[in-house]
């Protein structure tokens, strides 16, 4: 086949379009100087399985989300009481209940693995309150009252990139949501991403586990027996030990952290509004909890 | 992203969940088919395809190819794109419904269409 001339029109069109196509496919912002932020690291808390990233300065953490939900449940209970009803989720003490564990790269707390396997640790009082609300909601009067209250309370906004519930908040968080999304995509495009995951797979395989990683979906859990909880816990312990040995969570989240830091530098002015909104929301949570919904 | 056969079920989110009203719902399925106080998922957009209704709200399993959902609970529900509450996650607030998960970004160019593998109450 005859070689196409270097200055042919298709090539020139391709040269113009390629950056656009790559930008669309990768979803990353152009001109971000990520290399200048190579020393930025994610802040990990293994006990609570929390991953701290730079954009958390502008968005609620999982723990903040839990506190906001608790405040909103207090408001729900106050609203329901006007109809002579109770909303149990707003009557329990949430002060010791943290946020959901961040398992974007799978289970990684050795303590949680040994105690709960792959299940999410759940406070007994919280679980009971959810069950009671579900049970009461089978009654039409109770359910309709709860839906009216959902619409009528002045809820604390959940200012997170991964929360959908209020269009105004979604618009507000858009600039940070884009940064979070791009950072996740950027991380997956780095050779370090594949290297870290390959080392985890190898460790798990050497320990007798099977990670079904041949498909096109990301897999963060070794193959598990369907019902044998004891075996699932044993696998969880080995799985987490391997993730710790190869520093999987730190290495992957550091990639996201670097991109987020570079993204913040380019978008600081727009993010300032979000930081102010987050601060106001956290203050409102404190006020609601202090007043007990009154 | 791999195309999935939406005509048949690929799997089922089951662990810890009470599932009500399972069954293939014809093309006239609608948001109103989702009962009060249920978390509902459909295999097609516009609340069509097979409808699964969940009473309690903890489940994990294979990818069912979920394309629309309705959270008729008075609290939020968080979903994950991998089994056992792992991978990327997203919460949907109380009394929230979306007829197309394809408009909800997961990361980069990926969306939540055909991605949900597990879910649980959000806090």
Give average pLDDT by consecutive 10-residue segment, chain B, 123 residues: 36 51 53 94 94 82 89 96 94 96 95 94 71
Domain B19-121, CATH: 2.60.20.10
Q: Do B56 and A160 touch (CB under 8 A)?
A: no
| Per-residue pLDDT, B96 | 96
B4 in A contact zone (CB under 8 Å): no
Q: Which of A27, A69, A190, A285 to mutate to test the interface with B (most CBs of B within 10 A)?
A: A69
Q: Which residues contact A21 (CB under 8 A, 6 or more apart)?
A: none
Give chain B positions within 8 Å (CB) of A118.
84-86
Average pLDDT, chain A: 90
Residue A287, domain member (yes or no): yes
The pLDDT-based confidence of A292 (bands split at 50, 70, 90) is confident
Q: Which of A138, A163, A185 sits opposite B108 (nearest CB)?
A: A185
* Local structure of B106: helix, strand or coil: strand
- Report the C-alpha gap between A138 and B56 in whole angstroms: 12
Whether the CB-CB separation of B60 and B83 falls below 8 Å is answered with: yes
Q: Which residues contact A60 (CB under 8 A, 6 or more apart)?
A: A68, A158, A159, A160, A278, A281, A282
Residue whose tokens read 């997961």:
B106
| Per-residue pLDDT, A236 | 97
* Nearest C-alpha neighbor of A150 from the set A85, A73, A82, A48: A73
For chain B, the domains span 19-121
Mean pLDDT of A244-265: 98
Mean pLDDT of A121-149: 95
When divided into structural domains, chain A yields a total of 1
Residue A1, domain member (yes or no): no
* Nearest C-alpha neighbor of A122 from the set A94, A146, A149: A94
Q: Do A164 and B98 touch (CB under 8 A)?
A: yes
Q: Which of B56, B75, B91 sits opposite A162 (nearest CB)?
A: B91
Domain of residue A113 covers 41-183+190-291
Residue A11, domain member (yes or no): no
Residue A230, domain member (yes or no): yes
- Report the C-alpha gap between A128 and A91 in whole angstroms: 12
Phi, psi of B88 (to 5 degrees): -70, 150
Residues facing B71 on adjacent strands: B39, B96
Mean pLDDT of A219-247: 94
Q: Which of A119, A126, A156, A179 to mutate to test the interface with B (most CBs of B within 10 A)?
A: A119
Exposure string for A126-156, b = 16+ CB within 10 A, e = fewer: beebbebbbebbeeeebbebbbebbeebebb
Q: Do B94 and A105 touch (CB under 8 A)?
A: no
pLDDT tens for A20-67 read 444 444 456 767 999 999 999 999 999 999 999 999 999 999 999 999
| Per-residue pLDDT, A96 | 85
Whether the CB-CB separation of A268 and A54 falls below 8 Å is answered with: no
Residue A114, domain member (yes or no): yes
Give chain B positions within 8 Å (CB) of A184.
88, 107-108
| Per-residue pLDDT, A287 | 96
Question: Which of A70-79, A178-187, A211-220, A264-273 is predicted with the least confidence, judged by mean pLDDT?
Answer: A211-220
pLDDT tens for A122-131 read 889 999 999 9
Determine what percent of chain A is predicted with pLDDT higher than 90: 81
* Local structure of A41: helix, strand or coil: coil
ipTM over 0.95: no
Evaluate if residue A293 carries a pLDDT over 80. no
Q: Do A133 and B96 touch (CB under 8 A)?
A: no
Interface of B with A in 26-65 (CB under 8 A): 36-37, 55-58, 63
């Amino acid at each position: 086949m005859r070689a196409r001339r270097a200055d042919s029109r298709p090539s020139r069109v391709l040269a113009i379009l390629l950056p656009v196509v790559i930008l669309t496919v990768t979803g990353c912002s152009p001109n971000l100087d990520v290399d200048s932020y190579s020393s930025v690291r994610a802040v990990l808390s293994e006990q609570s399985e929390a991953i701290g990233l730079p954009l958390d300065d502008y968005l609620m953490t999982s723990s903040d989300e839990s506190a906001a939900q608790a405040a909103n449940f207090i408001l729900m209970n106050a609203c329901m009481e006007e109809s002579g009803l109770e909303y149990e989720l707003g009557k329990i003490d949430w002060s010791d209940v943290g946020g959901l564990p961040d398992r974007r790269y799978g289970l990684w707390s050795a303590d949680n693995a040994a105690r709960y396997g792959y299940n999410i640790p759940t406070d007994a009082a919280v679980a009971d309150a959810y069950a009671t609300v579900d049970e009461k909601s089978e009654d039409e009067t109770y359910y309709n009252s709860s839906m009216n209250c959902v619409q009528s309370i002045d809820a604390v906004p959940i200012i997170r990139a991964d929360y959908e519930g209020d269009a105004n908040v979604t618009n507000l968080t858009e600039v940070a949501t884009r940064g979070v999304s791009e950072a996740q995509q950027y991380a997956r495009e780095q050779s370090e991403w594949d290297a870290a995951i390959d080392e985890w797979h190898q460790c798990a395989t050497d320990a007798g586990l099977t990670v079904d990683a041949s498909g096109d979906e990301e897999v963060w859990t070794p193959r598990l027996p369907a019902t044998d909880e004891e075996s699932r816990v044993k696998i969880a312990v080995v799985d987490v030990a391997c993730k710790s040995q190869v520093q999987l969570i730190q290495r992957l989240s550091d990639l996201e952290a670097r991109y987020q830091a570079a993204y913040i530098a380019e978008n600081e002015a727009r993010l300032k509004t979000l930081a102010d909104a987050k601060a106001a929301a956290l203050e409102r949570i404190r006020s609601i909890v202090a007043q007990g919904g009154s | 992203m791999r195309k999935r056969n939406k005509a048949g079920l690929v799997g089922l989110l089951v662990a810890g969940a009470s599932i009500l009203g399972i069954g293939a719902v014809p093309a006239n399925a609608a948001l109103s088919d989702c009962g009060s106080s249920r978390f509902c998922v459909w295999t097609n957009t516009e609340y069509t395809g097979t409808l699964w209704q969940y009473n309690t709200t903890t489940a994990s399993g294979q990818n069912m190819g979920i394309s629309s959902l309705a959270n008729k609970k008075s609290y939020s529900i968080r979903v994950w794109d991998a089994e056992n509450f792992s991978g990327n996650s997203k919460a949907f607030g109380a009394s929230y419904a979306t007829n197309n998960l394809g408009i909800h970004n997961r990361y980069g160019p990926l969306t939540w269409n055909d991605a949900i593998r597990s879910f649980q109450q959000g806090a």
